[in-house]
Amino acid sequence: MGGSRRMDDGSFLFSFRIILALCSILLVWTNYRRHLRDYYVMATKQLLFVSTSSSLILDDGVVSPSFERPISYSLQRENTFQNTYNLYYRCGDRTPLHADMEHILNFTTFVDIDKKLLFMGDSVSVQNAQGFQEAARVNKTQRTVLRYSWGTHEGLFVAPTSRGGVVAGWRITDLLRSSRENKPLPNSGGGGWVKSDVNAILAYNYTLSNGTETHTLGSFDTIIYRIPHGWIKLRDVTRDAIHETVQLAHDLFGITNVIFLTLPFISNILTRDDLALLFETNAIIRDYASLYHNKTNNHHNGNTSIDGVQNVLVLDFGPFADSLTQWNARLLGFNASSIETSDYLFERLQCCPRRGFQRAIAQVCAEKVAHNAKDCPRNMFSLDGMHWCSETLNGRLNGGLACLLGCLYNSQSAQNVGTCEKHCNNKFMSLGDGLAAPSTRPDRGQRLDRTSNKGPYRWRKSRNKAY
């Protein structure tokens, strides 16, 4: 009996020690999880997202890029965008964004890139280029303006990045067409350009960050084109015109990849016919890009692809901006259940009738005012019904562009460019399930046959231009 009691005592002591050890392990694991959670919360407050570029997240939220890949980017929580190079199109001290909008727009994109990029289009494209230069942290001391459009409005400018890439902007008021060579330059309409500007920018010399290597630009890798709607009519945006732009961009600048931005609603969309034509134009842009990628771009003259141009991608900025306008309309109290059927886009300010800037209240106002009111308190995403508030939207815009560039140049992404392109647009050009893009926009692969500028729509002189 005594031996049995001693055995029971030993078993109890052994079991007690096991339980104590398990409790100690549980306590250590709980503390570890708490510290891990605290670290994660701290890190996500500082760094919202790091791209799939194998970047390293440092304790202070700064991204150290992997130099094995041409493109890396990070999205840092809190908007620290300064509008460093954009001197004219600024929203400044306006009514702050609604809290829900602030939540999805309040971040800053930083880009590390070793590729040479050319932004081309009207003053909205110039604004985009200046914003991307800030995101890419170009060398300010080597930034050069080769031509001003008028006054100190930049028309042709270029700067190197810290990794040997280049970001340049070129102002033009049409698609890039051979027939526009030697026509009047901006701020004139007609899309004029001159070969001397081509030669000047390709001869641009810059020094790498190590201070010892000097390079001549020579050519560009990618052109990012914002079609200057406002200067040209939507019916002139045909597949043939787009194809000529891609061909000429390759011939003049040596580009191997193209990114087009789709077009948003702007103030000179005056009727439902105009709005329908805008959706059709964006479908043509998507269609051209999709079919080009699949090497089946068989429009009426039989062209399939251009030797040397590998991909044509789309940043779907149009539906993204339209969704912001629709969201703002709801916040102002408009019936904005559908961008296609509601009248909220056509309630306008009676502003600047001589120049025709009849801005949509739902797009530019922070408070609802009566139709034909002279003005309103302005919001923080649309500057004037044409330009955008870079302070607010450049996080999304630059993030989307950097993501698409990663699709083109980062080896893993390049294996399936189409899928990667869709991912980038879903990530950066969507507001989520609650506010999807217009339901009637045509699918990206839908075939449309606008190969000329003849169509069923009523036309008027374009009155709202991106200056």
Q: What is the pLDDT of residue 340?
A: 72
Separation between Cα atoms, residue 220 and residue 254, nearest integer Å = 6
- Contact assessment for residue 305 and residue 295, using Cβ atoms and an 8 Å cutoff: yes
Separation between Cα atoms, residue 308 and residue 315, nearest integer Å = 21
Separation between Cα atoms, residue 269 and residue 259, nearest integer Å = 24
Q: What is the pLDDT of residue 358?
A: 85
Which residue in 362, 426, 359 sits closest to 387, CA to CA?
359
pTM of the model: 0.80
Ordered per-residue pLDDT tens for the chain, 467 residues: 444 444 456 676 777 777 777 777 777 666 655 554 444 333 333 333 333 332 322 223 333 344 457 899 998 887 788 889 988 888 988 999 888 888 889 899 999 999 999 999 999 999 999 999 999 999 999 999 999 999 999 999 999 998 899 999 999 999 999 999 999 999 888 899 999 999 999 999 999 876 778 999 999 999 999 999 989 999 999 999 999 999 999 999 999 999 999 999 998 898 999 999 999 999 999 999 998 866 534 443 444 578 899 999 999 999 999 999 999 999 999 988 877 767 899 999 986 655 556 899 999 999 999 999 988 999 999 999 999 999 899 999 999 999 999 999 996 655 689 899 999 999 999 986 433 333 333 333 333 455 545 433 222 333 344 44
Q: What is the pLDDT of residue 448?
A: 46
Taking the CA of residue 289 as centre, how many other CA atoms within 13 Å lie in the half-sphere pointing to its CB?
25
- The Cβ of residue 273 has, within 10 Å, a number of other Cβ atoms equal to 14
Q: What is the pLDDT of residue 37?
A: 45
- Contact assessment for residue 273 and residue 458, using Cβ atoms and an 8 Å cutoff: yes
The pair of structure tokens assigned to 84 is 């460093």
Q: What is the pLDDT of residue 23?
A: 77
- Contact assessment for residue 79 and residue 380, using Cβ atoms and an 8 Å cutoff: no
